Amino acid sequence: MSNATSVAPGGVVLDWTAGRTGPPEPCVFGDGPAICRSPVRDVPCHKRCAEEWITARARDAADLARLIREHTPRKAAAR
Ligand SMILES: [Zn+2]
């Protein structure tokens, strides 16, 4: 792509250390079992698949930042 605002492939690194995991279930992207759960949809999803999805979907850097934020699980805040 020649679009100067396009997002560099593979640039997304999600932090899912606070995310949920579970027994292996088929990834929503259909490429095999995943133990990670999407923090947004709570469905089985590889972190790498989510990163590729975000990269493909982001329109620009600001959109990318927003998507990363939305797809990063927050640690439970102690209140
Ligand atoms: Zn996957």
Mind listing the pLDDT tens digit for each residue in 18-32?
999 999 999 999 999
pLDDT 10s digits, 61-74: 999 999 999 999 98
| Mean pLDDT in residue range 8-17 | 79
Q: How far is the CA of 21 from the centre of ligand 1 (A)?
A: 14
Q: How far is the CA of 31 from the centre of ligand 1 (A)?
A: 5
For the four alpha carbons of 24, 32, 59 and 15, in that order, the dihedral sign comes to positive
Q: How far is the CA of 3 from the centre of ligand 1 (A)?
A: 28
Give the position of tokens 């493909």.
56
Q: How far is the CA of 2 from the centre of ligand 1 (A)?
A: 28
Q: How far is the CA of 79 from the centre of ligand 1 (A)?
A: 34
